[in-house]
Structure 1
Amino acid sequence: MSGANVYDVIVVGAGSMGMSAGYHLAARGLKTLLIDAFDPPHTGGSHHGEPRLIRHVYHGGAHYVRLALRSDALWRELEDRTGEKLLERSGVLNVSDPNAYAYDGRFADADREGIRYESLDAADIERRWPGWTVPAHYRGLYEPDAGYLFSERCVAAYRREALAAGAELLTDTAVLGIETRRGGGLAVKTSRGEFAAGKVIVSVGAWFNTLAPSVKLPIRAVRKVVGWFEADERLYRAGHLPGFTFGGPEGGYYGFPSIGGAGVKIGRHDGGRPWQPGERFEPFGFYPEDETDLRAALRAFLPGAEGRLLHGAACKYELSPDEQFIIDAHPELPGVLLAGGFSGHGFKFASAIGEALAEWTQSDIPPPDLLPFTLSRFPSAAAASTP
């Protein structure tokens, strides 16, 4: 294949995972085209609204821990190359009802990798961070070397690095379908014409079903909200309060200290309202529970942060049936890699997953730490069908 519209690799979806993959592909010398329906970083997915937690003592298995550590190293490398602050080591405090979320299974992986952590009881937490109110039977897990990433800066930094490495970026362009070409390779049909490549990576977040029937994944899109609340800066300011998660029968929540007086940011991991591309996407505040749910959680655990609502935002989650990632070869289109189901806990891994997707694309061998994310674990998932 040759020509102006022919590439080694096309990346469909240039958000967090796609933009990282685009950089790693171009840095390997592959002629790379990134295509996005918006102009990243943007508000059409789930990477806007800034900070995202990065933790290392992770649930789900040793492969997550290794990916988290590799991601951390790659974020630091990106900081060094760009000279931009992307990662704040605020520490992360996880607080939970042990009947709902237990930490014991994570400690062996953490010990094996030499990750620092502290196991705390409720009294330890309240003494160390007086802004917390914690039920007596709850437990805490504190990681001093964890923190948060400035997500929009990260995507923007990878965009600059990808373009500097020779990648091309086509923004505000809808992808209409992917199919095999009669002469070999793959054709990506878009609102701006057709492009060809030997390999294609698809990572379009909540927009996967817009690619049917070329691509079908068992991913559901969910509307999620976050809010920033006025807080007692003595107790909840950045530099004092770490990033945090807490969970129990009331649900699972995550959040961040007040950065520069912006207020404590809080969101809920579970729940949310179903949404599909093409439907109206309501802004924060449209539903009463957008604010009241977050406020109730603050009142229970961080009462000094339940002040005036300063800002709210809504974003689009993409969730697999088991809420773990899907990273696998397309079952019917040779040369196509699918990567989705990242929302809720994926952003921190974007640097390492982008690198791994580039490695897989170049070698045709899946990296070992991506093997648990196979599509085949959902035997009832509808197989993708070509047009």
Structure 2
Amino acid sequence: MGMATADWLARHSDARVQLLDAYCPPHEHGAHHGETRLLRQAYGEGSSYVPLAKRALKLWKQLEEESGETLFLSTGVLNVGPPGAPFIDQVEASARQHGLALDSLSGDQVSSRWPGWALEASMHGCFEHEAGVLFVERIIACWRARVEQSPQVSLVTGAQVIRLEAGEQSGWVAVCADGRRFGADRVLLSGGQHIAPLMAGLGVELPLTRVRKTFAWYECDARYDTAHFPGFSLTTPSGAIYYGFPDIEGAGFKMGRHDSGQPLEAGEAMAPFGEHEDDIRELQQVVERYFPGVGALRVGAVCQYIRTPDEHFLIDEPLPGLLVAGGFSGHGFKFASALGEALGLWLDQKQRLPELALFGLTRFSSSREGTS
């Protein structure tokens, strides 16, 4: 989100921008590694997200055209679940409300149209044609190249912020572990797992939790190449939610679980894939049940979700001139182009777009210190 915001500011503002990263993006320490993310507009998390999703898709295509890189692959996205599954119902409600094209299919129709699926006839699917896959690390690299070419943006890597302080006259100062200090009149804090601890140091408690998650790539046959298989979400009859991708450029069939996970403290090391007993089993049982052409595990990986209690984003200005953007809960990257624009407007022009109203702090507790 910080890189997207800096990219927007570099092209739409005369302000000088300092962009701090504890590592060297793209990297594996945030929430943007793993190569691919689904982009969908008929949204199971709520119809309020749809305007942002539509704006994001337009901006992704614009970035792709300007960069000359392939950043979006139009595979379509299939959402599958038992009748009455809340996520599937909300996908269809979002499509109806916003006039999005969506095919409604029975389980056997899904299996016939995409032979890589083995579904019971009672299952229900809905297919969004205009959805697809984003190449996230390519996108980060494109943004980085653009901001580094801008004379008004300074990207500082290896800047591990350990404390925020109020400026002597105004604004805010970020203090780094090596003693460097960076000050600005207006600040966006979008540091994932570090947002809550840094804000706690200013007396503002934020309802953000960190969760260890896993995903993996598998061997697969030709039924799962991008010409024959879409991206997907799957709600099982037990209510577990999975997501996945076709075999893109020979990487294999990719799948992960969206819900569950192991809670972690900020800064706590994540156990490697396979160290928890459920890491392999919770994925393998779904592979064996629903995907007849998927074979052996190639490689597994771990990532982190930063979640709010309701799993909606947290975007607000809890202290004057200090914006926070976090809690993106495993479904935020698809919106990064649109949120970079929205956050850039908020920082530069103090204009808060109405699409961000859903993500304010007041929804948790009007009495929480620092909310507005």
TM-score range, shorter chain: over 0.9
The answer to whether the aligner puts 1:199 opposite 2:186 as a matched pair is yes
From 265, 278, 281, give the equivalent of 2:267: 278
From 278, 291, 296, give the equivalent of 1:308: 296
Q: Equivalent residues in 2 for 1:169-188 (5 A)?
A: 169-188=155-174
From 334, 337, 357, give the equivalent of 1:371: 357
Q: Report the Cα distance in structure 2 between the residues aligned to 1:378 and 1:66, rounded to whole angstroms.
A: 23
Root-mean-square deviation (CA, aligned residues, Å) is 1.8
Q: Which amino acid aligns with 1:22?
A: A
Shift in Å at residue 110 of structure 1?
A: 2.7
Q: Which residue of 2 aligns with 1:25?
A: 9
Shift in Å at residue 250 of structure 1?
A: 4.9
Contact 1:45 1:317 (C-alpha < 8 Å) held by counterparts:
no
SS in 1 for 2:86: coil
The unaligned stretches of length 5 or more in structure 2 are none
Q: Report the Cα distance in structure 1 between the residues aligned to 2:93 and 2:277, rounded to whole angstroms.
A: 42
Q: Equivalent residues in 2 for 1:115-264 (5 A)?
A: 115-166=100-151, 167-191=153-177, 192-211=179-198, 212-214=200-202, 216-232=205-221, 234-248=222-236, 249-264=238-253
Q: Report the Cα distance in structure 2 between the residues aligned to 1:241 and 1:129, rounded to whole angstroms.
A: 6
Q: Report the Cα distance in structure 1 between the residues aligned to 2:119 and 2:31, rounded to whole angstroms.
A: 30
Contact 2:173 2:183 (C-alpha < 8 Å) held by counterparts:
yes
Contact 2:102 2:126 (C-alpha < 8 Å) held by counterparts:
yes
Contact 1:218 1:381 (C-alpha < 8 Å) held by counterparts:
no
Q: Report the Cα distance in structure 2 between the residues aligned to 1:75 and 1:158, rounded to whole angstroms.
A: 11
Q: Which amino acid aligns with 1:286?
A: E
Q: Report the Cα distance in structure 1 between the residues aligned to 2:366 and 2:161, rounded to whole angstroms.
A: 26
Higher mean C-alpha deviation, range 279-288 or range 103-112 = 103-112
Shift in Å at residue 207 of structure 1?
A: 2.4
Higher mean C-alpha deviation, range 184-193 or range 316-325 = 184-193
Deviations 1:118-155 (A, max 9, x none): 11111110110111111222111101110010111111
Shift in Å at residue 109 of structure 1?
A: 4.1
Shift in Å at residue 196 of structure 1?
A: 1.4
Q: Which amino acid aligns with 1:21?
A: T
The answer to whether the aligner puts 1:45 opposite 2:30 as a matched pair is yes
The answer to whether the aligner puts 1:292 opposite 2:250 as a matched pair is no
Deviations 1:315-340 (A, max 9, x none): 1110110001011111xx21011111
1:104–1:155 CA distance, 2 compared to 1 (3 A): same
Q: Which residue of 2 aligns with 1:337?
A: 323
From 247, 256, 260, give the equivalent of 1:267: 256
Shift in Å at residue 112 of structure 1?
A: 5.0
Deviations 1:280-299 (A, max 9, x none): 32111212321111111111
Deviations 1:258-310 (A, max 9, x none): 112221000000011111233232111212321111111111111321x1111
Give the TM-score normalised by the residue count of structure 2.
0.93
Deviations 1:61-98 (A, max 9, x none): 44311100100011111111110000000111110112
Q: Which residue of 1 aligns with 2:50?
A: 65
SS in 1 for 2:120: coil
Q: Report the Cα distance in structure 1 between the residues aligned to 2:150 and 2:98, rounded to whole angstroms.
A: 33
Contact 1:217 1:384 (C-alpha < 8 Å) held by counterparts:
no
Q: Which amino acid aligns with 1:367?
A: L
SS in 2 for 1:244: strand
Shift in Å at residue 238 of structure 1?
A: 1.8
The unaligned stretches of length 5 or more in structure 1 are 1-16
Q: Which residue of 2 aligns with 1:14?
A: none
Shift in Å at residue 59 of structure 1?
A: 2.8
Q: Report the Cα distance in structure 2 between the residues aligned to 1:40 and 1:107, rounded to whole angstroms.
A: 36
Q: Between the two proteins, what is the percent identity of the paired residues?
A: 42
Q: Report the Cα distance in structure 1 between the residues aligned to 2:149 and 2:357, rounded to whole angstroms.
A: 31
Shift in Å at residue 104 of structure 1?
A: 4.2
Q: Report the Cα distance in structure 2 between the residues aligned to 1:145 and 1:268, rounded to whole angstroms.
A: 23
Shift in Å at residue 182 of structure 1?
A: 2.5
Q: Report the Cα distance in structure 2 between the residues aligned to 1:155 and 1:343, rounded to whole angstroms.
A: 19
Q: Which amino acid aligns with 2:254?
A: K
Q: Report the Cα distance in structure 2 between the residues aligned to 1:105 and 1:155, rounded to whole angstroms.
A: 30
How many residues matched?
365
Q: Report the Cα distance in structure 2 between the residues aligned to 1:210 and 1:372, rounded to whole angstroms.
A: 23
